[in-house]
Amino acid sequence: MDLLSRKATCNSHGQDSSYFLGWEEYEKNPHDVVKNPHGIIQMGLAENQLCFDLLESWLIQNPDAASFKRDGQSVFRELALFQDYHGLSSFKKALADFMSENRQTRVSFDSNNLVLTAGATSANETLMFCLANPGDAFLLPTPYYPGFDRDLKWRTGVEIVPIQCTSSNGFHITKLALEEAYEQAKKLNLNVKGVLITNPSNPLGTTTTQTELNILFEFISKNKNIHLVSDEIYSGTAFSSSEFISVMEILKTNQLENTDVFKRVHIVYSLSKDLGLPGFRVGAIYSNDKDVISAATKMSSFGLVSSQTQYLLSSLLSDKKFTKNYLRENQRRLKNRQRMLVTGLEAIGIGCLKSNAGLFCWVDMRHLLSSKTFEAEMDLWKKIVYEVKLNISPGSSCHCEEPGWFRVCFANMSEETLKLALKRLKKFVDNGTLSRSCQVGESQSLKSSRKKTTTTVSNWVFRLSFHDRDAEER
Amino acid sequence: MKQLSTKVTSNAHGQDSSYFLGWEEYEKNPYDEIKNPNGIIQMGLAENQLCFDLIETWLAKNPDAAGLKKDGQSIFKELALFQDYHGLPEFKKALAEFMEEIRENRVTFDPRKIVLAAGSTSANETLMFCLAEPGDAFLLPTPYYPGFDRDLKWRTGAEIVPIHCSSSNGFQITESALQQAYQQAQKLDLNVKGILVTNPSNPLGTMLTRRELNLLVDFITSKNIHLISDEIYSGTVFGFEQFVSVMDVLKEKKLEDSEVSKRVHVVYSLSKDLGLPGFRVGAIYSNDEMVVSAATKMSSFGLVSSQTQYLLSALLSDKKFTGTYLNENKKRLKIRQRQLVSGLEAAGVTCLKSNAGLFCWVDMRHLLDTNTFEAELELWKKIVYEVKLNISPGSSCHCTEPGWFRVCFANMSEETLDLAMKRLKEYVESTDSNRLISKSSHERIKSLRKRTVSNWVFRVSWTDRVPDER
C-alpha cells in the first residue's frame, strides 16, 4: 500500500517546470546593487514594487491601523477572536468599493457576494472545487500563468484544456480557437465546466478586448452549463482605466442580470498585484450565485485572511483619498516603467506584444532562436539566465504554442536595475553571441505570418511589426 | 449536467449539524451584560479569552512588532513581498521553540520540519490530502471535534471510521475498540491510512495516557499506517500531570529515527493556547521529508499572512514572555475550570475529570427523559432556548452515549460563568420536581449513580477510569 497519497508523490504540483527552476537559479546568485552586482537579475517575478512609498506614508499617518487600535482604543481582543468566515464586513465593503473604483465605478460590487480567501491562489482553487468535479475541464487561453497548473488541477482533479492563441492576431481569443478547445475536450471525454481567463492577461500584459468578451459571452450563453471565471487580479495595473473592461461590465451593459448567464460569471481578485502585497494573502471570489457564495464561504475556512491583515487593509482601503491617488499614481508609474522596458528592448532590436497593463511585457525573441523549436527556446533561456544573468520566463512554461516568447517583468526592481538589465542584454546581443538568426532557414520563417525585415549579419536591429494585432475596438 | 460540483450540492460540509445550529441561535440572541442580560450565553465556543491582558501588555511594550518595524526601521516592504511558502524562518524557529517549551523541553522540534498553514483547519485538511486518497479512511476516537467531519472529509474525499470510546472507562481508547474500528473499516471496504487523535482531547478535556499513546504507536507500527496527533490544546494543560506528547512516547521507545517516526505527524495552532484564532496560524510537523515537501507546496493555498508571522515571531521569541504566559495561562484555566466544575456540582451535575482544554465534558444523562439521542436533543433545545446557554450536545461530537455535553469555560468573564451556573441550577431545581413525578424507576437504573428522591446531589464515580501511568 502506498504510504502517501498520489497528490503528495506525483508531479502535478507543476513545480519542476522551468518557471520555478529559473527562480532557483536566481536564489543561488541573486543580484544586489551593492553585495552582488554581477548576480542574476530577477525579471521572472510579477511583483509591483513601484508604490510602496505611498503605502508607507499612509501607514505613518495612520498608525492605529497596524497597531490594533480604532480611534485610539484597542481592538486587539476583537480581532484576535475574529475568525468568522464571512470576513470583516468593513473590510469586504472597502474591498468591494475598491474593486468598483478600479473599474471607474462603471459597475458596483455587493460585499455580500464577496468571499475572502488567502490570496488568489486559494480563490482559484476554491472556485474549482465549487464549480467542477474531478475529471471535469476548464478551458484556458494560452499562454497562461504557470501556477494555474497547480492551482486549478492539483488537489481538485480538474483538467485544463488550452484555447490556443497565436501571435498571428496578437494572441487574441478567437471563436474558432474556443470551439476547437471545446471539441478537443469532448474528444478527451472531458466534461467542460467553464472557461477561465485572466484579464488583464498574465503573461501577455494586455486587457481582454470587447470582441473577445463578446465571443466568450456568446459561448456561455449558448452552452448553458458553462461558467466564466475572470481572474481580474491585474485590474489595477491597466495603464488606462478606460481600456480595462471587466466581465461585470458586460453583464451590466448587455443587461444580463435576469438571465441564467448572470450566475455563471465569477470574478477572482487579490491585492497582491495592484497593491503589491502578496505576503498579506488577500484574495477574493465574487459571484452572483448564492450557492457558490455559500459553499465558497465555508471552504474559505481552509484559507481565511488573518484578521490582523483584514483590519489594516480595511482602514487603508476605506481611505478614499488614498485609494484614488494610489490607483492613479500606480497606473502612471507602471506605464512609465513599461515604456522604459519597451524602448530599451527596441534599442536592442527586440519587440514585444503591444501591452496596456500588467507588470511585465510579452517579449518576442523568436528571431534569436537557433531553430523554431522549444528546445531552442530552452537553450536561449538558459543562456539568458546563466550568461546574460537575467531570470525571465520562457513562453513554454506558460504553455505558449509558439517558441521564442518570453515574459519579462519590469515592476519588481529599481529603474537603475532595469537599465542594467537592458545594458547586459544589449551587450549580449551586440556581441553576436545570439547570432543565430543567420541560421534560421527560409522554411521556418515562412511559418510566421509576420513580415520580417531583412537582417544584416553584423547589425542586429530588428523591427517587428506591431500591427499584427487586429484593429480593436477600444 | 449539474452546474455546480457535488461538493457544493451535498451536505458533506457538515454544517447542518446541531453544533452549528446552536451558534445560529446564539447569534440571534447573544448575551450581553448590559445590552442583553437575558440573552443566550455562549458556552459552545472553545476560545481562550483568559490571557489577553498579557499579550496586550507585551504589544504595548513592543510596538515595533505590530508596527511592521525592526529596531525602529520599517520592514513593511520586505514583509509585503514575503510570500515564500517555507515561511518566515524567525517565526518557524520561535514556533518550534514554543512547542518545545510547552513540552518542557523534553523533546525537540526542528523548524525545517514545520509547515505553516492558515490555522489547524488548513493543516488537518492538507495532511489528509498528503496521506490519503479519496475513499481512504482515518480512524478517530469518539467523541471528536465536529469540525473534523468537514476538515478531514469534505474536499479530500477521505472517510472517518470511529473508534468507539465510552464512559465505562472515562472514554479512553482501548485496544479492542481500536481493533473493532479497523475491522469495521475493512468491512466497509475502506483502506485505513491512519489514526487521528486530539491530545489533549476535544471535547473531553483530558490528556491521552501513556498507555493509550503506546497502544497507538504499537498499532500503527503493526498496521503500517499513520498517526496524526492534533496537539492544538497542548498549552492548555493545567493539571498536576505533565502533558505527554506522542513525540515523548517516540523518544521513550527510542523510535525517533525509526521508520515509524516518519508516520507520526503533529498538528499545532496558536488559536487555543494563545487565544488567537483570528490570526490563522497553524502548523504541521512531520519527520517525513516527502510529507513536509508536499505539504509545503500545498500550503500555498493557505499561507499565514507575513504581517502576522512577523508579529508572532517577535512575541514567541521573547522567552520571558512565553515562560510567564504559559504559567499564567495554566493557572487561570485551572481556576476557571474549577469554577465551572463546582458550579455544575451545585446544580447536581458532574463532569468527566479533566486536566486540560477550554471546556468540560459534562454528564447530563440523569436529566434525559430517555437514554436516547432524541432525548439528548430535547434536553439540548431546552438548555439553549429556556436556560439560554449554548452548549454542545455529545451527538454532534459523535459520542455513542446520549447525555454528554461539552461546556466551555474560558470564553467568558467570571461573572458570566456564575450567571450561567445560576441559570442552570435554577433550571435543574425547577425541572426536578416535574421529573420526579414522570420518570420511571427502570430508567434510573441505567445510571450507575445513587439518587435520593428529595435531594438531587449526584456524585459520579470518577474511578471508572482505568488508573494511568502518568
The 8 Å CB, 24+ separation contacts for A322-329 are A322/A54, A322/A58, A323/A98, A323/A101, A324/A101, A325/A54, A326/A51, A326/A54, A326/A55, A326/A275, A327/A101, A327/A102, A327/A236, A327/A241, A327/A274, A329/A51, A329/A54
The string of pLDDT tens digits covering residues A52-100 is 999 999 999 999 999 999 998 999 999 999 999 999 999 999 999 999 9
Q: Is the pLDDT assigned to residue A461 strictly greater than 60?
A: no
- Residue predicted with more confidence, A2 or A62: A62
The string of pLDDT tens digits covering residues B342-360 is 999 999 999 999 999 999 9
Given an 8 Å threshold on Cβ–Cβ distance, is A59 in contact with B68? yes
- Determine the pLDDT at residue A113: 98
- Residue predicted with more confidence, B18 or A234: A234
Stretch A230-248: mean pLDDT, rounded?
A: 96
The string of pLDDT tens digits covering residues B83-124 is 999 999 999 999 999 999 999 999 999 999 999 999 999 999
- Determine the pLDDT at residue A259: 93
- Determine the pLDDT at residue A434: 52
Interface test mutation site (partner A, options B279, B313, B315, max chain A beta carbons within 10 A): B279
A55 CB neighbours in chain B (<8 A) are 76, 80
Q: Is the pLDDT assigned to residue B277 strictly greater than 60?
A: yes
**Residues of A labelled as active-site residues:** 145, 231, 233, 273
Comparing CB atoms, the residue among A132, A291, A308 nearest residue B307 is A308
Q: Is the pLDDT assigned to residue A244 strictly greater than 80?
A: yes
Query: What share of chain A in percent tops pLDDT 90?
Result: 84
Given an 8 Å threshold on Cβ–Cβ distance, is A13 in contact with B308? no
The CA-atom distances, in angstroms, between A103 and each of A96, A235, A237, B409 are 11, 8, 11, 49
Secondary structure element (H or E) that encloses residue B78, with its range: helix B76-81
B122 CB neighbours in chain A (<8 A) are 302-303
- Residue predicted with more confidence, A447 or A301: A301
Catalytic residue chosen out of the listed positions B114, B228, B232, B383? B232
The string of pLDDT tens digits covering residues A295-345 is 999 999 999 999 999 999 999 999 999 999 999 999 999 999 999 999 999
Stretch B273-287: mean pLDDT, rounded?
A: 98
Sort A188 into a burial class: Cβ within 10 Å, 0-12 / 13-18 / 19+: exposed
Q: Is the pLDDT assigned to residue B443 strictly greater than 70?
A: no
Comparing CB atoms, the residue among B3, B13, B290 nearest residue A225 is B3
- The residue of chain A nearest to residue B1, with distances taken between CA atoms, is A225
Sorting pLDDT into bands at 50, 70 and 90, what band is B468?
very low
Instruction: Report whether the peptide linkage leading into residue B111 is cis, meaning its omega lies within 30 degrees of zero.
Output: no
Comparing CB atoms, the residue among A77, A276, A309 nearest residue B305 is A309
Q: Is the pLDDT assigned to residue B447 strictly greater than 60?
A: no
- Determine the pLDDT at residue A9: 83
Stretch A116-138: mean pLDDT, rounded?
A: 97
Sorting pLDDT into bands at 50, 70 and 90, what band is A452?
very low
Given an 8 Å threshold on Cβ–Cβ distance, is A15 in contact with B297? yes
Stretch A131-137: mean pLDDT, rounded?
A: 97
Comparing CB atoms, the residue among A3, A66, A119 nearest residue B66 is A66
DSSP secondary structure letter of residue B348: T
Interface test mutation site (partner B, options A54, A302, A308, A310, max chain B beta carbons within 10 A): A302
| Cell matching residue A150 | 497547480
Catalytic residue chosen out of the listed positions B92, B93, B153, B272? B272
Stretch B26-37: mean pLDDT, rounded?
A: 94
Q: In what order do the strands lie in the sheet with B114-117?
A: B114-117, B282-286, B264-269, B226-230, B191-198, B136-141, B159-163
Q: How far is A415 from chain B (nearest CA, A)?
A: 17
Comparing CB atoms, the residue among B6, B59, B129 nearest residue A76 is B59
Bin B189: left if φ > 0, else alpha if -120 < ψ < 50, else beta.
left
Stretch B192-209: mean pLDDT, rounded?
A: 98
Q: How far is A455 from chain B (nearest CA, A)?
A: 43
Question: Rounded to two decimals, what is the model's pTM?
Answer: 0.90
The string of pLDDT tens digits covering residues A48-63 is 999 999 999 999 999 9
- The residue of chain B nearest to residue A11, with distances taken between CA atoms, is B294
Given an 8 Å threshold on Cβ–Cβ distance, is A59 in contact with B288? no
- Residue predicted with more confidence, B24 or B230: B230
Mean pLDDT of all residues belonging to chain B: 91
Q: How far is A450 from chain B (nearest CA, A)?
A: 39
Given an 8 Å threshold on Cβ–Cβ distance, is B280 in contact with A280? no
- Determine the pLDDT at residue B4: 86
Sort B114 into a burial class: Cβ within 10 Å, 0-12 / 13-18 / 19+: buried
- Determine the pLDDT at residue B456: 29
Query: What share of chain B in percent tops pLDDT 90?
Result: 85
B119 CB neighbours in chain A (<8 A) are 83, 301, 304
Q: What is the DSSP string of A186-242?
A: HHTT-EEEEEEEESS-TTT--PPPHHHHHHHHHHHHHSTT-EEEEE-TTGGG-SSGG
The CA-atom distances, in angstroms, between A226 and each of A126, A136, A189, A215, A229 are 17, 11, 16, 14, 10
The predicted complex's ipTM stands at 0.90
Q: Is the pLDDT assigned to residue A436 strictly greater than 60?
A: no
- Determine the pLDDT at residue A276: 98
